[in-house]
Structure 1
Amino acid sequence: MKEQDEHISVDDELYEHHKFVASEGQEPLRVDKFLMNFIENATRNKIQQAVKAGNVLVNDAVVKSNYKVKSNDVVRVVLAHPPHENLLVAEDIPLDIIHEDESVIVVNKAAGMVVHPGHGNYSGTLVNGLIHHFENLPKNTSDRPGLVHRIDKDTSGLLVVAKTEFAMANLASQFFNRTTERLYLALVWGSVEEDEGTITGNIGRSLKNRLQMDVFPNGEFGKHAVTHYKVLERFSYVTLVECKLETGRTHQIRAHFKYLGHPLFNDERYGGDRIRKGTTYTKYKQFVDNCFKILPRQALHAKTLGFEHPDSKEKLFFNSEVPDDMRLCIEKWRNYTAHQHDE
């Protein structure tokens, strides 16, 4: 039977919770499976219930679960209540503020803290803490107070937050024009061949797993992305590198180093949460497991942040200490390498 599409308009009683545009090259995929790949922490049952209730639209038409999403389809999930992330609640969350003036705030974000509310993370985010500590933060184009950039939940390190409309516009321009300076510390699997180098390759949503980003070296999909790196230390089967971002794409360092064949240590989403290099000895497996327990996240820290102050035009640089979990993991690898030949 041919599926009957019912065209509806979203009025005041329905609110858009998610909107996704299928990439060029999207192979036909059932809409429920497509949304499973897109919406983190969503269950298949919840998505199918939303479809059954007529809350999933493709190109503004209600569809059934077996609708096949194709290139450039606009997939939307609409519900009768506003998205939880729009109902921002101030929460008294301790923040590690390393700089504040009348225009900007620089925060050292802990690993595990989500930057802004989203599906499955409606409280305990950096934004919830910011609106408790600071009144009248300007909103960006995505309606998120103060934010001009973000880092992943399990990445630690520095973020700048705007306190005024002018600061937000100015900082957004600096990020767009790539005049900010951002240095990251990463521990990656394997021995990186060159002591320093540049990874260039468009980054876009994976055509197979929409929660991952892929590198498209020929530029047919994705957005231009450039990561410069320098090897700091080599530890037998892993390498400590410093990364300088020229662009700021989602999961850029994680995707670029996976593409290079060196996924970040304990990066579950990109395959770094299992042994990628090393011996088959049980003792070594136990050592790596212990490292994973010490550092239960990807080994990535936004260490340095530099930008021009929106008002004074002074060049500001901020540096953060490597957090204990990552520092202890690095020390463990350093010690392992030093005593490797004694075993």
Structure 2
Amino acid sequence: MRTNSKQTTPLASEYKVQEEQPLLPFLLQAVPKSRNAVKGILSRGQVSVNGEPTTKHDRVLKAGDRVEIMTNQAAKNDSELTGLSIMYEDDSIIVIDKEAGLLSMAAKDKKETTAFSELSTYVKKANRSNRVYIVHRLDRETSGVMLFAKTEEVKKLLQDNWEESVQERGYVALVEGKVRAETGEIVSWLRETRTFKVYSNPTDNGGQKAITRYKRLQASAQFSLLELSLETGRKNQIRVHMEEIGHPVVGDKKYGATTNPIKRLGLHAVKLIIIHPITKEQHTFISDAPSAFYNKSK
């Protein structure tokens, strides 16, 4: 538990540890930011313990330890971002936690704020020639983990080797009604109409094959909370498949929902596991689902 803090220099804040605990919970108390923003501070090497830089969130702190958090330009820029926070960044990729309501990239209105425009501005603050590249998209109303490339070469590496690069994409969905089966798999073929709505067919109709697996986490009479994994990543896949089994995603009027108690779409990209396109190391990114998802399905 933190009991005091002081500004040691214009570039750092120092905190004294009063009792033994892991580093991440300590930082969550010390820094007025979201869990994923704090993880970003750690991953960028801004945290030191007794003068030794560390990126290990599970490092055990002892009473009397001195924790220092450096504030650099990246941290300043991150705090100025709208609708997203940076979970991880290196010379090749940026991983963000996107809020619901933020477009991945511009559609008709080129002036609208998007994840792409926010990150473009962010990287250009370091160097005007810097760019970011969309690797995959999340629907406007879907929140959670999203991956961007920092070079065209990395974008191509990721997209051309998507099935090998992406080890797992996990979602959590709040859906209408009580899902009876504890687990299930949905396989169908998806086609998009001219009105931009995707339809599902149980047999091959020339569309794209889509496979969604789900596990029931908890359920009430009105709502269920599902953990979902995608073997394929088709447009609106989860939303279409949830409608197909009679349990549309909460707030998804386009695909059959009639309720919206959480005032947003009940879909969150909770996990992304990738093989780094350059280092070939495995990285796991976790974004906690909103508490409202759990509260409504109790």
**TM-score normalized by the length of structure 2:** 0.67
CA deviations 1:9-55 (Å, max 9, x no partner) are xxxxxxxxxxxxxxxxxxxxxxxxxxxxxxxxxxxxxxxxxxxxxxx
Contact kept, 8 Å, 1:93 with 1:124, in 2: the verdict is no
Amino acid at match of 2:212: T
* Unmatched segments (≥5 aa) in structure 2: 1-79
Q: Is contact 2:165-2:275 (8 Å) kept?
A: no
**What SS does the aligned partner of 2:208 have?**
coil
2:205 alignment partner, one of 216, 220, 237: 220
Structure 1 CA distance, aligned partners of 2:86 and 2:158? 18
Distance in 2 of aligned mates of 1:113 and 1:270 = 20
Say yes or no: does 1:232 pair with 2:217: yes
Alignment of 1:188 with 2:178, yes or no, is no
2:256 aligned with 1:330:
no
Which of these residues, 170, 184, 199, is aligned with residue 197 of structure 1?
A: 184
Q: Secondary structure at the match of 2:268?
A: strand
Counterpart position of 2:123:
134
Compute the displacement of 1:322 (Å). Answer: 1.8
1:165: how far off? 2.4
1:147 to 2:141 alignment: no
1:257/1:121 Cα in 2 relative to 1: closer, same or farther (>3 Å)?
farther
Q: Is the contact made by 1:204 and 1:223 (CA closer than 8 Å) also made in structure 2? A: yes
SS at match of 1:131: helix
CA distance in 2, matches of 1:264, 1:121: 29
Q: Whole-Å Cα distance in 1 between the matches of residues 264 and 289 of structure 2?
A: 14
Q: State the match for 1:297 in structure 2.
A: 264
Distance 1:250 1:116, change over 3 A: same
For the aligned residue pairs, the C-alpha RMSD in angstroms reads: 1.9
Tell me the SS of whatever aligns to 1:180: strand
Deviation track 1:42-83 (CA, whole Å, cap 9, x = no partner) reads: xxxxxxxxxxxxxxxxxxxxxxxxxxxxxxxxxxxxxxxxxx
Q: What residue identity is the alignment partner of 1:317? A: T
Distance 1:97 1:238 in 2: 31
More strand by share: 2
CA contact (8 A) 1:114 1:121 kept: no
Match of 1:156 in 2: 143
Q: Which amino acid aligns with 1:152?
A: D
1:110 paired with 2:99, answer yes
The answer to whether the 8 Å contact 2:225/2:297 transfers is: no
SS, match of residue 151 in structure 1: coil
- In 2, the alpha carbon distance for the partners of 1:308 and 1:178 equals 5
Given candidates 231, 246, 251, the residue that maps to 1:266 is 251
- Counterpart residue number, 1:312: 279
CA contact (8 A) 1:148 1:161 kept: yes
Q: How many residues align?
A: 214
1:177 shift after superposition? 5.0
- Kindly, what percent of the aligned residue pairs are identical? 33
The aligned counterpart of 2:47 is none
Structure 1 residue matching 2:218: 3-state secondary structure: strand
| Contact residue 268 and residue 298 of structure 1 kept, 8 A | no
Q: Residues of 2 paired with 1:193 and 1:332: CA distance?
A: 17
Counterpart in the other structure of 1:59: none
Cα distance between partner residues in 2 of 1:154 and 1:118: 14
User: CA offset at residue 273 of structure 1?
Assistant: 3.1
Deviation of residue 176 (structure 1)? 4.8
Change (3 A) 1:188 1:202: same
**Is contact 1:174-1:307 (8 Å) kept?**
no
> Matched residues in 2 for 1:120 and 1:224: separation?
32
Alignment of 1:10-21 (within 5 A): none
Distance 2:90 2:165 in 1: 23
Distance in 2 (CA, whole Å) between partners of 1:210 and 1:93 is 33
Q: Is the 8 A contact 2:166 2:272 kept in 1?
A: no
